[in-house]
Structure 1
Amino acid sequence: MVDTLGALAHRGGLLVQRPELSVGVVQAVSRTSGLTIELLARQPLDRRDAVERQRDIRAGQRSQPAPRRLLPDFDEGEGLRVGWLDRPDHAQWVFSTRGESSSGDHYEGTDGPSTRAQFELPPTFDEVDLVLAWPEIGFAETVTRLSLPDRATVAGATVSVWQAPVNTTPVPRSANQRTADMRDERPHIEAGSIVAQPRVLHRGRDAVVVLTRLTEIDSLLSLELVSIARNSLVSWPDPGATLAVLAGDDVVELSSGNGESTGGNGRFHGRCEFVVERPATNVLDLLVAWTSAKLWDVQAQIQLE
């Protein structure tokens, strides 16, 4: 659960782009308790139809596995493995703490299978040698050095969401309120660039709304909001906070896309993503509310970096 803000550790973007697999950073946050990194890996779309696929299976055509150097000869993984070098030629491997996968589109579509997963590394400062491997599909072990914030920067940014600064203003009156059209876009967020630091958007005594990620992908912005409540203020399956964008005289309500929520022991945690057109200026005007948690509409201005 995101109860603590941290320092933006990476601006996102692709780390590896090969014919068999691409891997990019969705988000990475450094805290004094550890480094959280979320990756999204995509395999190419299989253009074979069912007849061609069965024919190749009967012929025994398979990808040649990549050699193992840092991975043990046998391990429990079946997909993308992630770790870090703790010393030359030795890797520490970690299991994902959260993940989801997609089988991809029909062979005439656009996107192939994908895996999105979050990993927790120990407290790490200045730089880390991240290790990626997926030998079963022929993806060779790859070491990528990432620059990270220093210890002092991370310590200064590690603050409870219940105590972090909040800068909001009352919602201006608007004559036009509408709901944004549902979007067919599925932006490749791992290929974009993060343009804002994590921050608290709205807070009451027992509820808080946090902007955990704001990513620019071409002409679009992808946002991730986390809604947290305590003391049994709300319960699952509450949808969490709602989001709108102030565009001139219009208040445009956004529909949430990918997300999840959990609850229990008096606590609620919800995560949802939104996609919106990038504004012409470098300021995104958000209207944030969570009425079931007694958080009424406020305006939060996000300066795009």
Structure 2
Amino acid sequence: MDTSRDEKALFDKKINNKLYLTIPNVRDFILYNFTTDRKLKVTKSIGVKDNISKNVEDFEKFLAKKRTEQAFLSFESGSSKEVKAISDWFQMLETNLRFLFEDESLKLLSKRTEDKVNFYLTSDNREEFDFNTLSSGYSSILFILFDMMQKMQNETGSFDYTKEGIALIDEVEAHLHISLQKKILPFLTRFFPNVQFIVTTHSPFILQSLKNSVIFDLETKKRYEDFSNYSSESILETFYDLDKFGDIMKTEMGKYEEMLKNGIGNDKNEILETRKKFLEIPDIEISYWIKDMDIRHKETIKKLLK
């Protein structure tokens, strides 16, 4: 059956009491009836920092809700268990924050204003501060903590964080200085003792932070257990193939050893000055190295120090 493309005619026919729509030219039908609407829309990312800040703000709201709930329940008869559960939870949070901040004098306190409850931290070692003034490192840890707390409470409906689960964290050391790299996994496992944390990291301080751990090297496909007894230097040298000394220092050390091998000659003053410079460096590894050089080149050192 032929039809005019200009009219874009549609035909129907009734067969066995059923209505069938016949479209002679599907392409023209679509172009005629469904106009194209092309748009370019790019959603601006709020960024990691803003996302963390928002999560910390939500954490404060969560704390305020719990404090308000605690105050409300304290006026109701028969609610002593619920009040104690909330009180114990705040005590547990404060204890773990002391561990994270490495400050036993730290206290988590709250102030009620007309329309909200504000939380702040006090310490014998610093001025009063709140969650909004924390560094990106502490904020990122609270980001992870609150996210996991929310998910677990949605599952259990309680303050019980002993539920089993698996948490995946990529580059767990991001935003963290060395002290926090040592703390983050112990901090999280204190909160969630039955969660298996699977993390990726390049930090030796993360690797040595837990005793009950399994390490899998993705490059060599080798499996290890418990790096808690390893020093960060030995992890860097053994597993990352990195030297403990920088390139400039290694060059200077090489020159000094070469002078000792060649004997005193006309370089006596230079050798003594170089040795003195190394001895003045406040680094235990350098002092060990100097002692090793003294033993290896005992005769030359004796002549130098006469």
TM-score of the superposed pair, with normalisation by structure 2: 0.21
As a proportion of its length, which structure holds more helix? Answer: 2
Structure having the higher Rg: 2
Q: Does 1 or 2 have the higher relative contact order (CA < 8 Å, sep 6+)? A: 1
As a proportion of its length, which structure holds more strand? Answer: 1
TM-score of the superposed pair, with normalisation by structure 1: 0.21
